[in-house]
Structure formats: C-alpha cells, structure tokens
Structure 1
C-alpha cells in the first residue's frame, strides 16, 4: 500500500519541493528528561532546507533531545519515510501532509515555512497573460499541484485554461530549467530557486507571481502553503515543551534565511543543500520563505485542500482532511 501511495505522489512532491547560524548549540527546553531521546527530522533539499539551514547547522541538541536531521535528495525516500510514519518531525508539500493524515492520522500540521514560489515567465519579453492565448506554456506534471494552482488562477481570472492556452508538461524542474535555457521553451511556470538559476544565464520576464495572485483572488494573507511542518501526535501529547522550543528555533532559522544572514550560502553548503550559494542569495527575495504557525493560516489550508480536492481528490489522499489535522492552541 505504501509503495502504491508513494508512486502516486512522487511527482507531486518533486514538483513542489525539489525545485529545486549565528549561535551555538542550544539547551533551552525546561521539560524534564531522564535520558537522551533522538528526534528524527526529515527535510527535503531545496527551499525547505534553505529555510531550516541555520537550525540544522547550529542545533544538534535541545536539552536532552538529540536532533537527527536528514536532508532528502530524492522524493521517493521522503514520501516513503513519511507514509511509514518514521520521522518525528518533517517538512513536506502540503498535499503530502493531507495524504499522510488521511492514511494514518499520525501527524498534525504545526506550521508553514514557505508559501507559493511559482512564477509564470517568458523569455521573449511578453509581459501580459492575454498575449499568451494560443501559446504553448510548459509546467511540471499534468494534474499535479503546480498545474492545479496555475489553472485555478487562470479560471478565476476569466480564462478557459484548457481552450485559451496550450499546456505541455515535463516531469520536474530538472527537465524544465534546461529546456528554458536552451530556448526550446519560451513560456513556463517555474519555481524558485530554479528561476534564479535561469535568470543567472538568460533574460526572463515574470508575467505572473502565482502566490500574489492567489492572495488577491482568494483574500488570503499568505497565499497557498507549499512547505508544511508536520509533527507526530506523540510530541504534542508527551513532549510539548520540546516541540515549542523546536518550532521557535525553526522560525528563527527561517527569519535568518530571509535576512540573507551572513554566510547563508556557506551554511547551506555545509549541511548538504544542493543549490549553489550565489543562487541561494539571489533566490531569497522571490522564494517566499515565511514561518507561520498553523493557528494563523488555517484558512489558507482549507482553501487549498478544497481546491486540490475539486481537481483531483487523489492528490490529497482522497478527501479534504478534517480539522483534526491542525495543531491548534
């Protein structure tokens, strides 16, 4: 069953996530512990790892809790691990959080570290969406979340996404970025940090910031959630002070990345992030890294899960998850 679920969501995960420091180790939890416990924390390579880089680099232990970080390079390993309920904490695409909850109910959503980082771009100077009618636009994975988000926005803007535009698809950003750079693709929906990688070598025009348009059309404070922090229910019940301290440090790490903290690129390199340091610095402004606790973003998730369910129920595990998925305080 796990193998089947993994195959269904493997492309969804890669399309969303793999697009892919100033303090000493901290002992800050007051929660009494008689012995050291290891916490397994899984984070995908790319923007989520960039946001968590300062935390990973400088925190090997919080009180008696040893932090065992794993930065996953492949989508299969991350999805399989989460669907097997192996990590204590993980950062995953929002639809995988819903899928995992619908499967086992083992994890709750605690926060978001990144919202939409997708951009509709052109390489021939085209600036207006209306000028793309009848043109071929490339995206990642037909029926997957980038496709659903793009078509939802176009429909809300008054277009017929199936008739007004000609969409073509590739399996992932590792195919899309080279196609844009080679000149084969003129119009595409591209995420950060791939967009900055392309901009370093080719002049592009951003036609539409998908997250900003989502905020406008859905009256959203933050946009659509992209990188979701999920935590095991056991932590909520039995290790609450540790969890609060961990999330506090994660927020500080995301803030550090957004401030382009000193040596961010070097820190990311040290912990194994695959994106080059110079590209990381360029991508931060459009990466939309933002730490928001779930209590402040439930509307964003409810809207997002509802829309994904309308397009493809299997993308979130068959149904909109109940409100029990949210860690609320």
Structure 2
C-alpha cells in the first residue's frame, strides 16, 4: 500500500509539472561539459522542456555576457569562476562538483618527475592569473620556491596555444588540463606507446602535488554545474540527477564518449577524449557536501589573488542544498 501511495504521489507531481519552452545548457569546451552533451544526445530532459540547447563559452567574459543577457539556465563552470560571479551579485548557485583532477605538466624530458626538477625551465601556462596558474604558483611557493625567479613562465591565451608550442618544439614543458594533454600526446604519436620513442611524457600530477604540499587529499574541486537565476526545484533536481547519470556513462564508455564529444566539439579528437577519461578525476559530489573542500581551495586562491573568487569566500547560499 505504501509503495502504491508513493507511486501515485510521484505521478501526481509529474502531472502537475508543465513543460517549459526551452532549457539552455552551457559550458566551455572542457571535460566538465561533456556529460551535458550526453544529456542532450540521450534526450534526458525531453520531459522538462520542448527544446534543449547547448551553448559553448570560451572565457569568463563570454560566460558573463550569456548570463547577463539571460541566455542560459545551467552552466558547466570552474568553481572559482562561479564563486566570483556569485560575489558580484549574479544569481548563481553551485549544484555539484564533478572535476577533481585534470591538471598536469607535460614534458619532453622523461627524467623530470617533480616540480623542483623544472627549476630554471620554461613552462607554458594558459591564462595568466587564472586558476591553473594560481594553483601552480601556490604549490611551488609552499614547496619553498619562487614562481617568478625559479621558473620561466610563458603565458598564453588558450590551452590550444600551449599545446601548439609543445608540438612545434617552441617549448619543452607545459601545464595543461585534460583532454588537451591527451591531444598533445596523440598529435606527437607519444601515445599509445609504440616502437618509436615518445616525444612527450606525462610528468607532474598537480593534484598529487596539492595533496602532498597542503597535507590534504590528492584532489582539487575544480569544476561543476551551476544553475542561473530562479528555476523550478523539480527542474533543478532533474538536471542534477541526469548530469550524475551522464557523468557515470561518460566514465564507463570512453570510446563512445570520445565520438560524442567530437560531434559537438570537432577540435577535440575522439581518441584523445577517450584517453583523457582515465587521467581525469571524475566524481559527482553535491555542492553542499563539497563545501569543506571548496572553502579550503578558495582560501588558497584568495591568498594568492582575491579577485579570482570575487574578493571573499561565498556564503552558504552559494551552495545548492535541497
């Protein structure tokens, strides 16, 4: 009887919900967005809206413009960017964190295994003052080094630019995020391993250095999904649930995931996307449960550059908790 009652209530709730005209999902051409593409392809939200769209953003300025125009409803976003927007009075709530490890140094020198080994070397880094740059600097400072004096940092406007510098041998080391790291290895035939000696090697795992340096777990709450503006609670919960399901599919179907991502983001090689899944820490954690890890992360970013999170730690309303 209880099961029948609950089933009846569920049906009533579903009947009460009226489809909206459109739901727009958005994200950068990065791993955090890939489950959203599966949600669209599998029509996971077809009962919520008559039309589901996906819009790519390539930098925080583009994202801010999309939000201010009211063009998007849910967004895949670096956690510090979400915090920054929240602290600038944008109506945004973080729903979950799904990317916990995506950064590494890729090198032409297989003997370089630690950050200290890169002293005196040129390292290409995308986006000066953005999260990967700040994380790198804070780790090396905590390890007793000076990022300005001990390294020759070359800043570039996009991860693809750093990859091109590696491939064309204009630089021997770069700090990259997946799947760009796997793209560089594929393009130089450094992976899969063959009879020919690799040109590039995976070196320092930034997440391991983070854990070792700050005496914490080897993971960084780097990106997740956020909701923009006021939305029906049922829609928010369903989007969150479907993202979790699609993330699981993405993790367990690397080959198919690579083909799917390439369909929507042609610049990403299917094989490289498939390779990258093994080297990315993918784990769905509700924002409220990730709060402790996020606040530790935000404190490190704030110490280096308060502007990276909007000047202060976001308050508890930033974390979706229903």
So what's the TM-score if we normalise by structure 1?
0.82
Q: How many equivalent residue pairs?
A: 300
User: Aligned equivalents of 2:85 and 2:313: distance in 1?
Assistant: 12
SS of 1:169's equivalent in the other structure is strand
Q: Which residue does the alignment assign to 1:162?
A: 148
Mean CA deviation greater in 113-122 or 174-183: 113-122
Q: Which residue does the alignment assign to 2:65?
A: 80
Relative distance call for 1:64 and 1:206 in structure 2 (3 A) is: closer
Relative distance call for 1:154 and 1:59 in structure 2 (3 A) is: same
User: Aligned equivalents of 2:43 and 2:159: distance in 1?
Assistant: 31
Per-residue CA distance 1:67-125 (angstroms, 9 max, x = gap): 52213153343331134454221111222201211122411111012123111122022
The equivalences for 1:143-158 within 5 A come to 143-158=129-144
SS of 2:317's equivalent in the other structure is helix
Pair member with larger Rg: 2
SS of 2:99's equivalent in the other structure is strand
Pair 1:103-2:96 in alignment: no
Among 203, 207, 216, the alignment partner of 1:207 is 203
Per-residue CA distance 1:266-309 (angstroms, 9 max, x = gap): 32234445412111111111132322111221122112222222
SS of 1:198's equivalent in the other structure is helix
Relative distance call for 1:221 and 1:255 in structure 2 (3 A) is: farther
Deviation at 1:222, TM superposition (A): 6.5
Per-residue CA distance 1:14-65 (angstroms, 9 max, x = gap): xxxxxxxxxxxxx997372245342222122221232333212112634343
Q: Which residue does the alignment assign to 1:254?
A: 247
User: Aligned equivalents of 2:136 and 2:283: distance in 1?
Assistant: 21
The equivalences for 1:127-276 within 5 A come to 127-128=112-113, 129-200=115-186, 201=188, 202=190, 203=198, 204-221=200-217, 223-232=219-228, 234-235=230-231, 239-260=232-253, 263-272=256-265, 274-276=267-269
Q: Which runs of 5+ in 1 are unaligned?
A: 1-26
Q: Is the 8 A contact 2:301 2:309 kept in 1?
A: yes
So what's the TM-score if we normalise by structure 2?
0.84
User: Aligned equivalents of 1:209 and 1:241: distance in 2?
Assistant: 39
Deviation at 1:199, TM superposition (A): 1.0
Relative distance call for 1:313 and 1:49 in structure 2 (3 A) is: same
Relative distance call for 1:264 and 1:35 in structure 2 (3 A) is: closer
User: Aligned equivalents of 2:107 and 2:316: distance in 1?
Assistant: 40
